[in-house]
Structure 1
Amino acid sequence: MNVPVELRAEGAALVLIWPDGGWQRLSATALRAACPCGPCRGARLRGMDLAGSIPLDLTLTGIAPMGYGVQLVFSDGHDRGIYPWNWLENFTPPADRARLTALPGTVTSSAEPSSMPH
């Protein structure tokens, strides 16, 4: 199991630094929309689009490692999902999946986290 060596909230994003030096910056909104808790998964299975009910100014207010993953607490009060490390490592937000599908052969990346050396 690959476990990040560092994770932190940075603005409206979760930043994960992996043992190999790789990093991810995942938006709180995308993580909240993909929450793996039972009620959220059930809503998505019933065809509900959770993204429409997420506040635009959503942030992370808590991060609690739980062994096999991390529990995230969002500014809208939601705190039920535990996001497994493997899931986070492989997570591509829906908007990014659409962009990658629409532009075959291209590579995308986001800006480096502000505290990372250049």
Structure 2
Amino acid sequence: MNSAPERIGRDDEGRLRLEWREGVQWIDHARLRRECPCSQCRAFRLRGTPPLVSDGVRVLEIHSQGYGVQLVFSDGHQRGIYPWAYLAQMEPPAGAASD
């Protein structure tokens, strides 16, 4: 699943919806923020101090970057670009075969 999903959106309950050919995937906004792939957030995690993120954080904007998406969060963070493969591995899509 390295190609772009067919559709992407968000709901009022704080989840990102990705519609892949294989099925639908929902990812919690707070999880996305905690697992941001930007260099600053990665450095925090490597030092054993993951970013402190409120469970109430929300994705405000979604900007396509070709190979993934840039997400703008309600806490002001917007540095991470989430590649499609990175998002796909976060949770298996509903309806996909599970191991």
C-alpha contact 1:69 1:82 (8 A) present in aligned 2: yes
Gaps of 5+ in 1: 93-108, 110-118
Aligned to 1:18: 20
Equivalent position SS for 2:32: helix
Of structures 1 and 2, the one with the larger relative CO (CA 8 A, separation 6+) is: 2
Count of aligned pairs between the two proteins:
90
Higher helix share: 1
- In 2, the alpha carbon distance for the partners of 1:74 and 1:15 equals 15
Equivalent position SS for 1:63: strand
* Runs of 4+ more than 6 Å apart: none
Tell which structure's C-alpha radius of gyration is larger.
1
Aligned to 2:3: 2
TM-score, length basis structure 2 = 0.85
Gaps of 5+ in 2: 95-99
* Cα deviation 1:37-95 (Å, max 9, x = unaligned): 00000000011032xx2123111100011000000011101000000001111113xxx
Higher strand share: 2
TM-score, length basis structure 1 = 0.72
Equivalent position SS for 1:47: coil
C-alpha contact 1:5 1:19 (8 A) present in aligned 2: yes
C-alpha contact 2:41 2:50 (8 A) present in aligned 1: no
- Counterpart code for 1:25: W
Aligned to 1:58: 57
Aligned to 1:115: none
